[in-house]
Amino acid sequence: MSELRGRAERKADVLAALEQNHDLWLATASPSGQPHLIAVSSWWDGHEVVIATRAGSPTARNLAATKLGRLGLGSPEDVVTIDVALSEQVPVRTADADLKKGFVVAAGWDPAEEGDDWVFYRLQPLQVQAYRGYSELRDRHLMRDSPWLV
């Protein structure tokens, strides 16, 4: 069994994972509660997670309607879940240069090359949980209602 991590170490691990792992799972739901899950490329800008998807996709419709989602990354042995709120949506074609460049560098591809219907979505973390196994479940909450707890 590995050594239990304190909250400060877990927060550092979460931030490192967001900076290094640009492929995440994003779960959303329709207003009627129909769930939807996709893999997304992402960019952590230091405050928000930026993803891109087509404007007419179920994910885009769900985010526009409910403004909420849940990101997942890691493995079952090293879990990170992040409840997020949509803070902004920007069509890729009209996005500023810093947003475009940050996403392209992090994700390794340019949604502008995929078509005119792609949109960037800025997702503000609301709650962050991180744990490695059942022994770390007790102190898994690292953020609640946006401020970090550590």
Specify the CATH number for the domain of residue 85: 2.30.110.10
Taking the CA atoms of 83, 23, 11 and 98 in sequence, report the sign of the dihedral they define: negative
Q: What is the pTM of this model?
A: 0.93
Q: Which residues contact 113 (CB under 8 A, 6 or more apart)?
A: none
Asked if residue 1 has pLDDT above 60, the reply is: no
Alpha-carbon distance 17 to 45, whole Å?
Answer: 13
| Higher-pLDDT residue of 49, 135 | 49
Q: What is the pLDDT of residues 88-111, one digit of tens each?
A: 999 999 999 999 999 999 999 999
33: in domain:
yes
The pLDDT of residue 78 is: 92
- Dist. CA 142–CA 44, nearest whole Å: 17
Which token pair is 73? 């990354």
Residue span of the structural domain in which 121 resides? 7-138
In a domain? residue 2: no
The pLDDT tens digits of the residues spanning 14-65 come to: 999 999 988 999 999 999 999 999 999 999 999 999 999 999 999 999 999 9
- Please state the domain count of the chain: 1
Given a cut of 80, whether residue 2 has pLDDT beyond it is no
For residues 74 and 26, the model is more confident at 26
* Mean pLDDT score, 63-81: 96
In a domain, 22, yes or no: yes
- Domain membership of residue 44 (yes or no) is yes
Q: Taking a C-beta distance cutoff of 8 angstroms, is the pair 103, 52 a contact? A: yes
User: Does residue 112 lie within any of the structural domains?
Assistant: yes
In a domain, 146, yes or no: no
- Is 145 among the domain residues? no
